[in-house]
Structure 1
Amino acid sequence: MKNDISTVSKIIKIIGESKLTEISIEKEEFKLFIKKSNSVLTEPVIEEEIIEEKATEEIQLDNEENIVSESVGRFYYIDKDGEPMMSPGMEVTKGQKIGYIEAIGIKTNIKSEVDGKIKEILIENGEVVEYGKILVTITV
């Protein structure tokens, strides 16, 4: 496993320094997909450990905006000093950092997409999230 992590780190570095925008690698029980946009997204998957979770449908009101995960990893909204980047009832502005997702040591910032007030944080600090999972609801 350590060898796989070292290899993934090297691949991420190469992708970051090249003009490639995505790469997909499959080897025995290991799959890796990396797509470069504003940040590097990685999704290592070991076939035997996949647990499929049925997404519950969320009703979204017109005056609410859901912030969803754009990658797989652990979602944090409390920084290393113990200070929350957001809390229910807190006013946020468009582009304001409200948390981050960390996967294999890479942090991807999560920013508010609208001006508004945090209505509900749907994920516990440090909880593992999947792509497309609703993290936060903001009242516009």
Structure 2
Amino acid sequence: MLKIQEIRELIKLIDQSSIDEFTYENEGAKLLLKKSAPEAVISHSVQAAAEAPSHAAAQAPQAPSAPQQDQAKHEEVQQSETKQDENLVKITSPMVGTFYAASSPETGNYVEIGSKVKNDSVVCIVEAMKLFNEIEAETKGEIVEILAENGQLVEYGQPLFLVKPE
């Protein structure tokens, strides 16, 4: 099977080419890359459908029951969080799979909030098709938020960590 770096390179090459779909099969493993918009996407419809209800619920609008003062305060907090988020770097999942914060239940997590990371620091594992892929930070800084839970299914491109760059 392809290594994570090889998959990333394939995604970049397909993104820059006129190819709309790419399929790779080897020893029973199959990798399908499709362009849906301006970028390449790894397509797994079964897992995408499983994530859709929770994603839709998270985007559901809130009932307008709070007084106007509370709403204005809430909007100010959201704006300040957005400005803060603009300075943060997202570490995203390079594939669809299961997120693991540690290499085994007996060992500690690779990183915690406040951990310093370098470009080659392993921050988690994403299991895909029985292969455990170590995900590297690819940035230098401090972990300020962990966005995925241990054992959670993650999608391609889904943010896993927020890093304050140094």
Q: Same-fold call, TM > 0.5?
A: yes
How many positions carry a matched residue from both structures? 108
**CA offsets, 1:20-51, max 9 Å, x none?**
x64179xxxxxx6435xxxxxx755449x823
- Radius of gyration: which is bigger? 2
Which ranges in structure 1 are unaligned for 5 or more consecutive residues?
1-11, 14-20, 26-31, 36-41
Q: 2-side partners of 1:43 and 1:105: how far apart?
A: 17
Are residue 73 (structure 1) and residue 101 (structure 2) matched?
no
Are residue 84 (structure 1) and residue 109 (structure 2) matched?
yes
Q: Post-superposition shift, 1:79?
A: 1.7
- The structure carrying a bigger strand percent of its residues is 1
Identity %: 25
For 1:1-140, what aligned pairs fall within 5 Å after superposition? 22-23=22-23, 33-34=31-32, 44-46=44-46, 50-51=49-50, 52=52, 53-54=55-56, 59=82, 60-62=85-87, 64-80=88-104, 81-140=106-165
Root-mean-square deviation (Å): 3.1
TM-score after normalising by structure 2: 0.54
Which ranges in structure 2 are unaligned for 5 or more consecutive residues?
3-9, 11-21, 34-41, 60-80
TM-score after normalising by structure 1: 0.63
Give the counterpart letter for 2:91 in structure 1: I
Contact 1:43 1:71 in 2 (8 A): no
